[in-house]
Structure 1
Amino acid sequence: MAVGRRGIRILVRVTQVPPQPDQSLGGREFVTPEVVNDGSADRSTDAEQNEQVTRPTKLIRIASMVRTLLEEVRRAPLDDAGRRRLREIHEQSLRELEGVLSPDLQKELDEVVLPFTSETPSESELRLAQAQLVGWLEGLFHGIQATLFTQQAMAQSQLQEMRRRAIDPGAPGMGAGGPTAPSGYL
């Protein structure tokens, strides 16, 4: 899935997954996202092609966890052990993110996120680091949403064009089965 701040193309194909024998659908449909290349990436710039998210569901889980941690840090004061633990979690989150991001997005993230300067960062340092990471992830998601919206609009436009061509094949009349151009025969 291509993502980033620049106009990047994203295409996610969702396929149905049959339930396991011991599972009931219960009126719900099980789906699994599958990242596909629709060929439009060939028309995009090199920068767009290099900004990829390999595991979008993992990215979403990490982002949700980071946001929850930020809320917790804002609510309650942390002791030294809590601040050290939160630092470890923050650094582990960054490592996990690097595993799902393309090299270009990893580089961008590395440029934005600064390392902690002490073994036990202050609460304000932790809040800033978490807020910064949440902000970057939200920007990433906004880029994904904007790209999906653009792709959806393009697909709808193409569908309308195909329908128009099917109705009006370009002949003076309507073509197969409909009125045709006048001829010299009765």
Structure 2
Amino acid sequence: MDERTGQEAAMQAEIVEGQGQQPPQGQRQEPMPQEAITHPAKLLRIASMVRELLDETRQASLDEPGRIRLRQIYERSVGELEEVLSPDLKEELASLAPPMQGVPSESEIRVAQAQLVGWLEGLFHGIQAALFAQQAAARAQFEELRRRGLPSAQQQEAPKPGQYL
């Protein structure tokens, strides 16, 4: 697994809620990246579940029916994740999390789950970095608008007396 490639791809991920907003007048709209997440809350729930399963498999010895059940849960989790990912991220996930064949050993389950958790954490770090960058850009844009749009205190005129004074 190439961790750098996954992290670089995750750095370009963007949450897609609130699309359709127009950019402020005079500014060009940035093209939307190809990598997007359509349901971030679902992604977080699945990631939490996978992490808990990994912790449980580290602590417990699994018999064959338990390993089969964990394989089913793992494969369903990957399928659910694919529903909320863009095609690029979906393809990356599929290459990192191929379906398990037969009854996996405990170590195979642990490795697969740890790999999935690591990929999800890289994705979350990428989302977080993208959000920080968006916030910084919005803050700079707001400061620019404020600087251009509001007169300073020195430019404001003194209040004029009313007609009764």
- Could you say whether these structures have the same fold, taking a TM-score greater than 0.5 normalized by the shorter chain as the test? yes
Alpha-carbon distance in structure 1 between the residues aligned to 2:107 and 2:80: 23
Give the corresponding residue for 1:92.
76
Query: Counterparts of 1:1-186 in structure 2 under 5 Å?
Result: 4-10=9-15, 34-38=17-21, 42-44=29-31, 49-116=33-100, 118-167=101-150, 177=157
Runs of 4+ in 1 over 3 A off after TM superposition: 6-11, 37-42, 174-178
Change (3 A) 1:42 1:8: farther
Structure with the largest fraction of helix: 2
Unaligned runs of 5+ in 1: 12-33, 179-186
Q: Does structure 2 conserve the Cα–Cα contact (< 8 Å) formed by 1:10 and 1:147?
A: no
- The Cα of 1:175 is off from its aligned counterpart by 5.7
- The Cα of 1:103 is off from its aligned counterpart by 1.1
Amino acid of the structure 2 residue aligned with 1:68: E
Residues 50-106 of structure 1: per-residue CA shift (max 9 Å, x gap):
211111111110000000000000011101010000000000001111111111111
Alpha-carbon distance in structure 2 between the residues aligned to 1:143 and 1:162: 29
Number of aligned residue pairs: 146
Change (3 A) 1:147 1:66: same
TM-score (norm 1): 0.69
Give the corresponding residue for 1:16.
none
Alpha-carbon distance in structure 2 between the residues aligned to 1:134 and 1:124: 15
- Percent identity between the aligned chains? 52
Change (3 A) 1:10 1:55: closer
Residues 3-56 of structure 1: per-residue CA shift (max 9 Å, x gap):
x42434546xxxxxxxxxxxxxxxxxxxxxx43344579524xxx622111111
